[in-house]
Structures are given as structure tokens and as C-alpha cells.
Amino acid sequence: MSAELWRPTAGCGPDCLPGEGRTGVSPVRQVARLVGVLGMLLAGAGMAVLLPVLPAARRAVVLRAWARRTAGVLGVRLVVRGRLPRRRALLVANHVSWLDVFAVLAVAPARLLAKREVRNWPVLGLLARAGGTVFVDRSRPRDLPRTVARLAATLRAGHPVAVFPEGTTWCGVVPSAGCRPRRGFRPAVFQAAVDAGVPVVPLRISYRCAATGATTTTAAFLGDDTLWRSVRRVLAARDLVVDVAVTAALHPVPGADRRVLARAAESAVHLLPPRPTVGRPTLAVVGPVASPGPVASPGAVASPGAVASPGPVTSPAAGTGLGLAA
């Protein structure tokens, strides 16, 4: 398996990021946000000790509250459109920023799939381990079936799982071939949903300016950009909003083709027309795709919008996820 297949890349570059000198919040406000974030990280370290001993329901409440509060102290408003199913599910989302993790956990405190290096990160690694994160070693492609089996076991145990099947971040502004990850949603993680018999719920994550309504790349974490530089942009941002749209649930039939499932989820996230396919049905589409609604206050969640469901998808003739390939 080639390095290109195992380590996805996007076409984004420095031109995708906002220019220097844009008006943001004052330096005093930036420092206050930084202090608040450091406080939340310290709280997260303490929370990591408690999470393993808490009942599952209580653990979900604590993790969701922590993620929402962390987004709030960063000055980021969270808006959720649509409703998640109450049962266990594989949640799949596009990947723009490190902020995506907080957005997903604030909506559904699921167990995450993360690259192995995250295990050793200060505080966040401790919290990831305590939260039941499944780690994947992207330097060992032969471990992929074992990782998928662990995801399926986690789903069978009744825990929701969240992954970013693009395997890398990109600006998320224009869904063109130039910027989007070249191979799209990697299908391997979708096999876990098929094996566990659970639905796949695509989540569409986007960032915008509340004042203008325009999509922004302020939160994007791209290419050679450093984490600190990306964090500084967010700390300085004014009126930054992250929208999380819950799209229609995809229910794979037994023995479904994971590649079809991946393409259907990618189409839902990026509003792409599904590719025409032939053969026996692979999945059914059930659930809401929410329409835009009002902006919520920092850390809060807006009420869901209206419903619009895509059509059914069928099987083809042949054929973070974090780099998971077919």
C-alpha cells in the first residue's frame, strides 16, 4: 500500500488561509481567551481521572459540557442543525480544523478514532485515552483490519463512534477537486458500521463569520501551518461560528459495500449528487437534513431546522478515518 494511499493529502495551500492584518478582537481579549483555554485543559486533565469511573450516561454529559465550554471560552459559537438518532451510530464528518473535535464532542460525546501520536499529547492524550479513543498507527497499514474490528466492537458495545474519513484537513470552502482530499472519504471505517449493523450519520462541519454570514477559513489547519499559528487565528477571531449539520442517517443492509456507503456519506456532507450505481440495494436513507437556522450564543446549540432527505443509494458493479484506506 503506497504512502499516498495511506496518508491522504489535500490541495490546500497558504492562499486558502485568511490574510494577515485582518481586524479581530483586542490583544487583551485574546489573552483572556488563552487563559480560559488553559483552564479548560487543566479541567480536562482532572476530568480524565474521573471519566473511567463514571456511568456511561454521566460520562457523556460531562464530556459534552466540557467540549461546549471549551468552544465558548475560545469565542466560538456552536450551531447544530438537525437531530442525532438516539441509538448508537458511526458519525462521519468532513475535516477542516482541530476545532472539529470539540464541535463533534459538543454535539455527541462519541468515542473517536485518532492517529497514534495523539496518545502522547499533553493533557489531550490523557483525555483521549480516558474517553475510549481508538488509536490507529498510520505507519502500519497491515494493522487496518484490526483497527476496523475494534471500531466495530465499540459500536456493538453500544458506544457511538466519530471519525473523519477524509483522513486530513482542508479549507472546506469550495468543494473542488483542487482543495478537497484527493481520494475523498476512505471506505475502510465504514466496514465497521456494516459489521456492527449500525447506521452511519454524516455530519457537515463549516465555519463562518456571524457578522457577515460568509464562510471563513480562519479555523482551518492546513499543510505546513503550525498548531500554534492556527490556535492564534482562532483566539483573535471575531464572531466565529461553527455549524454542525446532522444529515440523513444511512442504514446499511447486511453485507453492504463499504465503498458505496462511503460515497453516499461524502455526497451528503458535501452536497454532491450521488453517483449512479446498479445492483442490489446497499443502504437506505432515513432521517433529517436540517436547513439553516438562527445563530446560537457561545457554547449553546440552536434548534434544528426543516427536513429534506436524499434518495436511496444502490450498490456499484465493482469496487481521523485518519488515513484509513480501502
What one-character-per-residue DSSP string does 169-208 give? Answer: ----SS--TTTS-TT-S-STTHHHHHHHT--EEEEEEEEE
116 lies in some domain: yes
- pLDDT for res 56: 82
- pLDDT for res 148: 94
CA–CA separation, 70 and 50 (whole Å) = 18
250 lies in some domain: yes
User: For 215, which DSSP code?
Assistant: B
> Which of helix, strand or coil describes residue 281?
strand
- CA 306, chain centre distance (Å): 22
- pLDDT for res 140: 81
- Tell whether the torsion through CA atoms of 170, 172, 174 and 177 is positive or negative: positive
> To which H or E segment does residue 284 belong?
strand 281-286
24 lies in some domain: yes
* In contact, 86 and 157? CB cutoff 8 Å: no
**Would you mind telling me the total number of residues written for the chain in this entry?**
326
- pLDDT for res 14: 66
**Burial class of 37 by CB neighbour count within 10 A (0 to 12, 13 to 18, 19+):** middle
> Which of helix, strand or coil describes residue 138?
coil
Per-residue b or e along 142-164, where b marks 16 or more CB atoms closer than 10 Å to that residue's CB: eebeebbebbbebbeeebbbbbb
Angle at alpha carbon of residue 96, lines to 315 and 91, rounded to 5°: 45
User: For 298, which DSSP code?
Assistant: B
> Residue 316 is which amino acid?
P
149 lies in some domain: yes
322 lies in some domain: no
Range of the domain at 131: 11-314
278 lies in some domain: yes
Q: Chunked in runs of 10, what are the mean pLDDT values of the chain (326 residues)?
A: 49 67 83 96 90 87 93 95 88 92 91 87 83 85 90 94 84 62 82 96 94 88 83 93 94 93 92 49 44 38 37 34 41
Instruction: Label residue 22 left, alpha or beta by phi (over 0 means left) and psi (-120 to 50 means alpha).
Output: beta
319 lies in some domain: no
- pLDDT for res 321: 36
Number of domains the chain is built from:
1
73 lies in some domain: yes
- pLDDT for res 115: 84
**Burial class of 5 by CB neighbour count within 10 A (0 to 12, 13 to 18, 19+):** middle
- pLDDT for res 193: 97
- pLDDT for res 19: 63
- pLDDT for res 304: 38
* In contact, 206 and 37? CB cutoff 8 Å: no
- In the structure grid, which three cell numbers stand for residue 179, read together? 482543495
